[in-house]
Amino acid sequence: MPALASITINDRETTPVAHTFVPTDGGGSTGVAVVEEMAAIPEGNKSLSISRRKAGSKFKVRLVLKDPIVVTETINGVARSVVDRTSYADLTFTFDSRSSLQERKNTVGMLYNALASSVTLVDGVVTKLESVY
């Protein structure tokens, strides 16, 4: 069983930036563990949550990434930080309780590789918001 711990995730900048997420909620009664990258204002924290539940003979694992963009807004000479917009990624895996570890690893690996920038079908739609023709 993995322990709730800090994780570091690189973005896709030309020179990748490492984002360190630290535990902020161990799940407790909700079963949702949360790690966050702290920002100047709490509303600007990036967060990654992970949960696992069993529904019948299926296991559902859900990851949600929240990526707010903070800007400085100046009104009447007073500058303050505000969240301008937020991107979300919501990923749910559903595995049969009879699936093997290797089957689950293969599913995760294929999805991971599908998200590579070199996979232009997926990357074009997800990052460039292009239509498929």
Is residue 27 domain-shared with residue 53, that is, in the same domain? yes
Q: Which pLDDT does position 33 carry in this prediction?
A: 93
Question: What are the tokens at 93?
Answer: 């895996």
Task: Give the pLDDT band (50/70/90) at residue 1.
Answer: confident
Question: What are the tokens at 3?
Answer: 């322990």
| Average pLDDT, integer, range 98-127 | 96
In this structure, is residue 35 part of a structural domain? yes
Helix (H, G, I), strand (E, B) or coil at 109: helix
Q: Which pLDDT does position 26 carry in this prediction?
A: 74
Helix (H, G, I), strand (E, B) or coil at 44: helix
DSSP state of 133: -
Provide the 10 A C-beta neighbour count for residue 65: 15
Task: Give the pLDDT band (50/70/90) at residue 119.
Answer: very high
Q: Which neighbouring-strand residues pair with 66? A: 47, 88
Q: Give tens-digit pLDDT for 27-85.
A: 666 789 999 999 989 999 999 999 999 999 999 999 999 999 999 999 999 999 999 99
C-alpha dihedral, 72 to 25 to 8 to 114, nearest 10°: -100
Q: Which neighbouring-strand residues pair with 101? A: none
Residue at token pair 């990748």: 16
Q: Which pLDDT does position 27 carry in this prediction?
A: 67
The boundaries of the domain holding residue 122 are: 100-133
Provide the 10 A C-beta neighbour count for residue 45: 20
State how far the Cα of 76 lies from the Cα of 92, in Å rounded to an integer.
Answer: 45
Is residue 71 domain-shared with residue 109, that is, in the same domain? no
Q: Which pLDDT does position 11 carry in this prediction?
A: 94
In this structure, is residue 81 part of a structural domain? yes
In this structure, is residue 1 part of a structural domain? no
Instruction: Give me the number of domains the chain comprises.
Output: 2
Is residue 15 domain-shared with residue 58, that is, in the same domain? yes
